[in-house]
């Protein structure tokens, strides 16, 4: 089975409160997995990587053999495709984790898409941030 994966990471402030949104669909377009989760304080680029890593961990657990990934982070896509160097040490670690997990998916593609074509993942990341903002301190 081929999976269609949309991921998004968001940070309010850079760094600041951050969250991820992940949508994974089967080849018919049926959503098989969604996640909306806060991460704590991270940069936007870190959140983008962490969203992809969350999706990849799910696919690893499913033993997925094929997946197409759609991210609205051009930086992350180009770094994973080897077109941009990864200079930031914290991103180097996340890049390494993502690369290792990508290698577990036999056939895969990575594509940069505009935010409008990644709307549900973006919505999930922002929902998590909005919910976090409404939480009352304990």
Task: Give pLDDT, residue 135.
Answer: 56
Pick the closest to residue 61 from 24, 21, 8 (CA basis).
24
For 85-133, how does the pLDDT look when each residue is reduced to its tens digit (9 = 90+)? 999 999 999 999 999 999 999 899 999 999 999 999 999 999 999 998 7
Give the domain CATH number at 123. 3.30.420.10
Q: Is 41 exposed, middle or buried (0-12, 13-18, 19+ CB in 10 A)?
A: exposed
Q: Quote the radius of gyration of the chain (alpha carbons, Å).
A: 14
Counted domains in the chain: 1
**Domain extent at residue 30:** 2-130
Max distance between CA atoms of the chain, in angstroms, equals 46
Any domain includes 136:
no
Any domain includes 87:
yes
Structure tokens belonging to residue 71: 């991210």
Any domain includes 138:
no
**Whether pLDDT at 79 is above 50:** yes
CA 124/CA 21 separation, integer angstroms: 5
Any domain includes 63:
yes
Any domain includes 13:
yes
Task: Give pLDDT, residue 132.
Answer: 81
User: In this structure, are strands 2-11 and 107-112 parallel, antiparallel, or unpaired?
Assistant: unpaired
Any domain includes 78:
yes
Any domain includes 18:
yes
Residues 6+ apart with CB under 8 A from 83: none
CA 93/CA 61 separation, integer angstroms: 21
Any domain includes 135:
no
> Residue 136 — pLDDT band, cuts 50, 70, 90?
very low
SS3 content of the chain, % helix, strand, coil (to 5): 45, 30, 25
**Whether pLDDT at 138 is above 70:** no
For 9-65, how does the pLDDT look when each residue is reduced to its tens digit (9 = 90+)? 999 999 999 999 999 999 999 999 999 999 999 999 999 999 999 999 999 999 999
CA 56/CA 78 separation, integer angstroms: 17
């Amino acid at each position: 089975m081929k999976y269609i994966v949309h991921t998004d990471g968001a940070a309010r402030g850079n760094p600041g409160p951050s969250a991820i949104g992940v949508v994974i669909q089967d080849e018919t377009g049926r959503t098989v997995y969604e996640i909306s989760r806060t991460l704590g304080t991270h940069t936007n680029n870190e959140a983008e990587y962490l969203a992809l890593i969350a999706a990849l961990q799910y696919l690893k657990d499913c033993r997925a053999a094929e997946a197409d990934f759609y991210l609205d982070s051009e930086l992350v896509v180009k770094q994973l495709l080897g077109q941009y160097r990864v200079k930031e040490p914290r991103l180097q670690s996340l890049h390494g984790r993502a690369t290792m997990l990508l290698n577990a998916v036999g056939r895969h593609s990575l594509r940069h898409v505009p935010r409008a074509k990644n709307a549900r993942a973006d919505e999930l990341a922002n929902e998590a941030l909005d919910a976090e903002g409404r939480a009352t301190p304990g």
